[in-house]
Structure 1
Amino acid sequence: MAPDTQTEPMKRKAYEKELRRLQAQLCILQDWVKQEGTRVVVVFEGRDAAGKGGTIRAITERVSPRVFRVVALPAPSDREKSQMYLQRYVPHFPAAGEIVLFDRSWYNRAGVEYVMGFCTPEEHDRFLEGCPVFEKYMVESGILLLKIWLEVGKEEQQRRFEARIDDPLRQWKLSPMDIKSWTRWNDYSQARDKMFAATDTQHAPWFILRSDNKKKARLNCIRFLLEKIPHKRVKRPKVELPRRSNRGGYDDEASLAGRNFIPERY
């Protein structure tokens, strides 16, 4: 059995060095995706406090938001509730040269909606039956679909929830729905297993990312994306800044005199 490297701490300096290296590779990937017109969808799912947001931020920190688009939809409106379930997600799919990262996705129906009773058992069954067909159509249309499940342990989830209660910088992350779902650990486990059984397909498999150690999870995820999305380095033309024109001798400081400035307190 392989050792559990998640329990081994990672020093911040080593983490930041490797993160910077991987983020530089994401910039190379970004250039290739733009040049080739690649379309990628990455789905991030997992329990509450599994680390989805932090992992997505690590991915998008150094790249262009025009290429790496993050989609985190709110609860559906009354109008959206009357539509076909998957309809609200399709407009957010990528055009050529885009990578769309879904911070939760259509799999809400297989998770929180099912566990918390926001959909009927029949709607849940219908979703599990139709989802593989929907995703097969996505893949056959040329979209590269990657589905990542962040798996956090029970003790680590509790530690993170307690930190959110006490830390004013994290309290916004603790929603009333999180509190309601807190006692439903086993229900979520069973819903996850049903979801895997129905939607872990050859054309759109699930990949599980262990996330008890946030630093390692982020690095592992970025490396995984770099391996799964085909890319090469794009040769960039050498750029030299031309000389600025000083025609007219315009005085910027004088032109701004008397305007409102934000106080410089630091």
Structure 2
Amino acid sequence: MKIVVIGGTGLIGTKLCNNLRELGHEAVAAAPNTGVNTITGEGLKEVLQGADVVVDVANSPSFEDKAVMEFFQTSGRNLLAAEAAAGVKHHVALSVVGSDRKPGNAYFRAKLAQEDLIRESGMPYTILRATQFFEFLNAIAHSGAKGEAIHISTAAFQPLAATDVAATLAKVTVAEPKNQVVEVAGPDRRPMSDFVQDYLKFYKEAPNIVADAGAEYFGAPIDDNSLTPGPNPIVGAIGFEEWLKTSPPPPPPPPR
């Protein structure tokens, strides 16, 4: 099959394209740096010619409230219209666990709006919602900085490796459209503060971690149900400790 991966040069897209090629498919990485722009429409018609499946893993360059909503709505409308014109048979999108729970987080609201566009388009689809990636733990940790301490929520957390996200996406992509949401999560479920503390300890950072039930997640209050999957998710194969041993060191923490 010819499979076009929108956002195919990013963290997930690169891994997904490699997985699909290993399975014998023609995987085309589409992104602004390859001449395909879902906001302006540049290159969309050309790249979708003969495509059987489109996988959308593109991400907004800004997480500001208005900008992130405009990105996912504009990109989604342009992409779905171009797919319909090209006769694409399956639209796959990567979303985030928790996007459907009336989130206070602007990014989650924008992802839910993107999901709604897909459902309303009439295009055969599969939406894969993933929990947060291990690769985001550094940003999560330092987002909670308050003076000399880092305040992190004690809400339940079940992150996974980007490698497992890409592997699951590959399986979903080559299967028949499900016309529903599928969830994928990591094998370990613990308080977010535990993951952050172990992460920073592994890299020999020693800030004062405050396990704070009231700490917000990028500006939004969360509880045990906010970022964890529903019943029977797909479970990633790579555990947190295993990932730590093979992950590159994070960039230095920002000055406080």
- Tell me the TM-score normalised to structure 2 length: 0.39
Name the one with the larger strand percent.
Answer: 2
Name the one with the larger helix percent.
Answer: 1
Name the structure, 1 or 2, with higher relative contact order (CA <8 Å, separation 6+): 1
Work out which of the two has the higher radius of gyration on C-alpha atoms and give 1 or 2.
Answer: 1
